[in-house]
Amino acid sequence: MNEQTSQIDDVSAKRTVLVLVIAQAFLGSQMPMLFVVAGLAGQQITPYACLSTLPISLIVFGSMTTAPWLSKIMQLYGRKKGFIIGAFGGFIGAAIGAFALSHNNFWLFLIGSYMTGIYMSAQGFFRFAVTDNASTSFRPKAISYVMAGGLVSAVLGPQVAAYFTGFTSDSTVARFIPIYYAAMAFNLIGLFIFLFLKTIKVPSINAVKGLGRSRRELLTDPRVLVAVICAAVSYSLMNLVMTSTPLAVVGCGFTEPDAANIVTVHVLAMFAPAFFTGHLIARFGVEKIMAVGLAFLTLACVVALQGVQLRNFYGALFLLGIGWNFGLIGATSMLAGAHTPEERGRIQGLNDLIVFGSVTIASLTSGGLMSCIGSNQVQGWIAVNLTMLPFLTLAVGSLIWLLMRQRSSVA
């Protein structure tokens, strides 16, 4: 790509970044908001205590199963159509969730959660969309800027949840219904925002079909494989701990607004570093930034295991957010540079299928560990954090393997 083409591409890419930053800020608010309350609401209406976090698991499962076909739609017809489908799915999911809570229907609540997963899947593609027409040098920065849009959602989402749960003395599940109305409103705002997204020209169906490596061949590429592993570990461990945090905080004698405030700090830590993560990747290399991310995730585990005071929850969730940011942005940057445009829809859909499949298992496991391991919430919280260790070992091992392989090739 020559210099003139890079400048032209980056002008278009910056427009895409601006639209998706705004979308991340408003539509993204529903995810931390719903993650705060879905487990607590599920705990009140579920017939089985061990399934209290199943609504969160269904959100992620919806994202996992949506990713392959949504990625194909975006590859063939453009990102704009895919993002509109996501916002519409989020609206329907929130509407079903509100109706289910008003009727104390756990199973219908799960259906609404699954539909919300369609939006979560679309949001996951924001980070890929900004690389479609960006130059190599601008690509990691573009990813970071879009992720930074989550700062608004980090504050807005959990605080909406805190407001509706804190201003009322009602202890029934009905206090969560206005939160789902708010989620409906965020999705309607998103539908309007996406009207300003310029449709990026994509190859025709005939041009894409059969070109590039197969999914199997892509996964044998060392950089693709390590990127997928580190993204899956970073995202699933973050979700494992965050999903159980509201249950652990309330179970240890603190309040629901306390849980919302802790999630606010966590989500701020997830997105605030995005202002400079891309610059760090450009300066030090993607592998080093991914390694730092895994180190922060390990520190989060250590802090969480030191006790169950508010300072432990705040500290662990803060470190967890930073680790997720470095790990996921690093893995996304590595993956974006490891495939051709023709392979984009194929590998991005497969990547998110694997990543959100891992996150689904993590969120479901989180509820089981919290509610069914040990005799109290403290023991459950300890079990959740100890579960992180073998997966961190896997990610660190894969990254070391890649670095050794690269050094061997150079030698």
Local mean pLDDT, 10-residue blocks, the chain (411 residues):
46 84 88 83 81 83 86 85 94 95 93 94 84 76 79 81 69 85 93 82 51 82 93 93 88 85 87 84 91 96 94 96 93 85 78 84 82 78 93 95 85 62
From 193, 42, 189, 27, select the one nearest 120 (Cα to Cα).
27
Which residues make Cβ contacts (< 8 Å) with residue 343, sequence separation at least 6?
A: 211, 212, 213, 218
- Structural domains of the chain ordered from first start: 3-199+214-406 (1.20.1250.20)
Using alpha carbons, select from 241, 215, 235 the residue that is nearest to residue 348. 215
Q: Give the CA distances from residue 366 to residues 39, 49, 81, 354, 358, in Å, rounded to whole numbers and listed in that order.
A: 10, 12, 34, 18, 12
Q: Which two tokens stand for residue 106?
A: 């756990």
Cα separations in angstroms, 187 against 42, 156, 372: 22, 14, 35
Which pLDDT does position 384 carry in this prediction? Answer: 92
What pLDDT is recorded for position 374?
A: 65
Distances (CA, A) of 263 to 39, 302, 313: 13, 18, 9
Residue 212 sits at φ, ψ, to 5 deg, of 80, 180
Q: What is the pTM of this model?
A: 0.73
CA distances from 389 to 153, 368, 371 (A): 29, 18, 20
* Distance between first and last Cα of the chain: 29
Residue 290 and residue 327 in contact, taking contact as beta carbons nearer than 8 Å: yes
47 DSSP 8-state letter:
S
Residue whose pair of structure tokens reads 């520190």 in the numeric block: 299
Contacts of 258 (CB under 8 A, 6+ apart): 249, 250, 310
The length of the chain in residues reads 411
The pLDDT assigned to 364 comes to 79
> Hey, what amino acid is at 241?
V
Asked whether 341 and 204 are in contact (CB, 8 A), the reply is: no
Tokens matching residue 26:
């408003």
Question: Tokens for 191?
Answer: 């539908």
